[in-house]
């Protein structure tokens, strides 16, 4: 039996890293073949009308360039990790390791999280803490088992891009889905008449006819799968949810709230695509914020806050009465809450907000 040690472990990790690139290589080879089949075999060899050739080639190369650009950015944009302020200090780490699990651990985490802009908790109401990274998780941050890192606003780990899709590249991922769908639909639409000619023997018996046939099948098949995936992520953006949050709603101090981060369709879009619409269709980073803190509007009443008096509008009907968490919000996101029809932090009774910042009933739960 072969001995196991640091050398064999590192060799296994290198093998896994190589295997993770197989889906990306497959997509790249498929894309390269589609370029040859469409631009050369269909447009140049099979199309007889010069005007049709020029229009199809110009439109095709535009979609091809945007597809490749957004795909490249999705793959090679490094996921963002929590900043240093979310990591425990050396003394705090020693306390966690030395003390038995219990109130001492809870108190260490409560003190460390006191001034951090975190609103969410674990299912049991504890501060979200990662044992592997030894940090307090920012809101919407999760530990990726493949990357072995905590990823800001993690959506999912995508094998087709060999990367975590999160705050730093979610916009690029959406554009990748959009341009790949347009790419496939354009190919299927312009190839359809030649595909029909293939079955009616209207094309000469050359190598091009087989490329035309398989090109249409591939484009049509990917169009169906991409349309459902792109539609799903458009719905997520409109609700300001990640894929993980769609399956498990975020938990706040007052309890689970599936719409806790939703600010309305327009502001949800701006969080991902930014304020300047001229950058929306380009794979250039323009998302708002820093990935560590997010504006939130709590739909349910926080039990630590006073209940709404009888006769007044409920918080669900009057956005101005929504309870806003007491932690400080990052300046890069705060303007979403200060313009018209936004949710603002209540400042009428700062004492009450302060008492809501710590919950003695919190219990620590380690999440990885």
Residues serving a catalytic function are 158
If DSSP codes are grouped into helix, strand and coil, which group holds residue 143? strand
As given in the structure block, the two tokens for residue 150 are 């905590």
If DSSP codes are grouped into helix, strand and coil, which group holds residue 332? helix
- 201 φ/ψ sector (left φ>0, alpha ψ -120 to 50, else beta): left
DSSP state of 277: G
Q: For residue 294, which of 184, 170, 209 has the smallest C-alpha distance?
A: 170
Q: On the CB side of 344, how many CA atoms lie within 13 Å of its CA? A: 9
**Residues paired with 144 in a beta bridge:** 149
Cα-trace Rg, the chain? 26
CA gap 178, 268 in Å, rounded: 18
- Count, in order, helices (H) and strands (E) of the chain: 11, 10
DSSP state of 178: H
Instruction: Find all residues with CB under 8 Å of 363, minimum gap 6, and list them.
Output: 106, 124, 125, 126
If DSSP codes are grouped into helix, strand and coil, which group holds residue 2? coil
CA gap 207, 183 in Å, rounded: 23
Do the beta carbons of residue 336 and residue 342 sit within 8 Å?
yes
Strand 142-144 and strand 149-151: pairing? Answer: antiparallel
Do the beta carbons of residue 117 and residue 124 sit within 8 Å?
no
As given in the structure block, the two tokens for residue 159 are 């094998």
């Amino acid at each position: 039996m072969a001995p196991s040690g640091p050398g064999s472990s590192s060799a296994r990790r290198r093998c896994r890293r190589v295997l993770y690139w197989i889906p990306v290589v497959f997509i790249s080879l498929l894309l390269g073949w589609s370029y040859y089949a469409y631009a050369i075999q269909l447009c140049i060899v099979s199309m007889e009308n010069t005007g049709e050739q020029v229009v199809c080639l110009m439109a095709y190369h535009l979609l091809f360039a945007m597809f490749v650009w957004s795909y490249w950015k999705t793959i090679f944009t490094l996921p963002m990790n929590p900043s240093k302020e979310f990591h425990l200090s050396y003394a705090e780490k020693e306390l966690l390791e030395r003390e038995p699990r219990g109130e001492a651990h809870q108190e260490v985490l409560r003190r460390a999280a006191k001034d951090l802009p975190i609103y969410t908790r674990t299912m049991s109401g504890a501060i979200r803490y990662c044992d592997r990274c030894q940090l307090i998780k920012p809101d919407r941050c999760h530990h990726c088992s493949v990357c072995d890192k905590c990823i800001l606003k993690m959506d999912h780990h995508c094998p087709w891009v060999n990367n975590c899709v999160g705050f730093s590249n979610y916009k690029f991922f959406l554009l990748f889905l959009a341009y790949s769908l347009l790419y496939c639909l354009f190919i299927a639409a312009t190839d359809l008449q030649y595909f029909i000619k293939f079955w009616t023997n209207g094309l000469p018996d050359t190598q091009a006819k087989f490329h035309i046939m398989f090109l249409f099948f591939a484009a049509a098949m990917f169009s169906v799968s991409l349309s459902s995936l792109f539609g799903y992520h458009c719905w997520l953006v409109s609700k300001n949810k990640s894929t993980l949050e769609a399956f498990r709603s975020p938990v706040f101090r007052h309890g689970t709230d599936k719409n806790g981060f939703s600010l309305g369709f327009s502001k949800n879009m701006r969080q991902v695509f930014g304020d300047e619409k001229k950058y929306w269709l380009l794979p250039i980073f323009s998302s708002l914020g820093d990935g560590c803190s997010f504006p939130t509007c709590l739909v349910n009443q926080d039990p630590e806050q006073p209940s709404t008096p009888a006769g007044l509008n409920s918080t669900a009907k009057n956005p101005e009465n929504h309870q806003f968490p007491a932690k400080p919000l990052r300046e890069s996101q705060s303007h979403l809450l200060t313009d018209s029809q936004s949710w603002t932090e209540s400042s009428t009774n700062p004492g009450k907000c302060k008492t809501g910042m710590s919950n003695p009933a919190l219990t620590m739960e380690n999440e990885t």
